[in-house]
Amino acid sequence: MTNEAARTSVILIGGGRMGTLIAKTLEAEGGFEVLDTYGSRDAAQLDREAPRADVAIDFSNRAALPHALAYVRRTGAALVSGTTGYAPEELEQIRALGEACAVTWSANYSLGVAVLRRATEVVARGLGDWDCEIVETHHNQKADAPSGTAKLLLGAVDPAGSMEVVCGREGMVGPRGRREVGMHSLRGGTVAGTHEVHFFGTDEEVCLTHRATSRQIFASGAVAAARRIVGREPGFYTFDQLMFGE
């Protein structure tokens, strides 16, 4: 068998900042062959003509989802998706795709954020009656707000989904409610992604912060996920399951 035959074939959905960096990372790491990249102009080709790959890596836009789903259903490729901005029903469609193929979706493919999520769960349990505000900061080209990672961290603060979520505080009348979480989005410059979870008590504050200083962490995490998902049984796998086996 030649090295060529052993390579994992990939199609990329989205060839923007992340898609370009993932292509470079696949090339640098070796063992992968990118068959093609699909963007907004040719995403419809995914439905019928695009060649079968071992794995599709999707960092694009929610508008591409019907094509990504059609591609994976048609070809049986594994899916690694990092696209954010989905509605809950769309995320449910991605999870349901796991009945037919091996699928992973994560709002953040950095190891640091995977650990931050766990740390946030622990701190939130310990400081259950403290006020909590989540602040995310990203570059001025980001299409969605709040970030997918901010929503992931909200899930760690409030796993039951029982708290009121207040996005920004403009027009707020009266004091802050006890059963609410504030979400705040800042946009500017070239920030790769900063997430802060603030817990405020009386006369004290605990703040957990993750700061991405480069997008490379997301690209490397997505490629690691691609390596680990190819050849798995159909199912929806979390990033933690792929990386930590749990």
Ligand X SMILES: O=C(O)C1=N[C@H](C(=O)O)C[C@H](O)C1
Give contact residues for ligand X (rule: CB under 6 A). 84, 107-108, 138, 142, 147-149, 193
39 binds, among ligand X, ligand NDP, none (CB under 5 to 8 A by kind): ligand NDP
Phi (first) and psi of residue 85, to 5 degrees: 90, 5
Q: Rounded to whole angstroms, how far apart are CA atoms 210 and 99?
A: 33
Strand partners, 183: 134, 167
112 part of the interface to ligand NDP, by CB under 6 A = no
218 part of the interface to ligand NDP, by CB under 6 A = yes
16 or 235: whose CB is closer to ligand X? 16
Which residues have a catalytic role annotated? Answer: 138, 142
16 binds, among ligand NDP, ligand X, none (CB under 5 to 8 A by kind): ligand NDP
239 binds, among ligand X, ligand NDP, none (CB under 5 to 8 A by kind): none
Was 174 annotated as part of a binding site? no
3-state secondary structure of 84: coil
Q: Rounded to whole angstroms, how far apart are CA atoms 25 and 36?
A: 15
Least distance from ligand X to the Cβ atom of residue 113, Å: 8
Task: Choose among 194, 176, 139: nearest CA to 16.
Answer: 139
Q: Which of residues 69-98 bind ligand NDP (CB under 6 A)?
A: 82-85
Contact status, residue 77 vs residue 54, Cβ threshold 8 Å: yes
138 binds, among ligand X, ligand NDP, none (CB under 5 to 8 A by kind): ligand X
Was 178 annotated as part of a binding site? no
Was 214 annotated as part of a binding site? no
What string marks each residue from 4 to 33 as x (binds ligand NDP by CB under 6 A) or -? ----------xxxxxx--------------
Was 83 annotated as part of a binding site? yes
In what helix (H) or strand (E) does residue 154 lie, and over which residues does it extend?
A: helix 148-157
Q: Rounded to whole angstroms, how far apart are CA atoms 23 and 11?
A: 10
* Sheet with 102-105: strands ordered across: 32-38, 8-13, 55-58, 78-81, 102-105, 235-237
Residues that bind ligand NDP (CB under 6 A): 14-19, 38-41, 43, 59-61, 63-64, 82-85, 106-109, 144, 148, 218
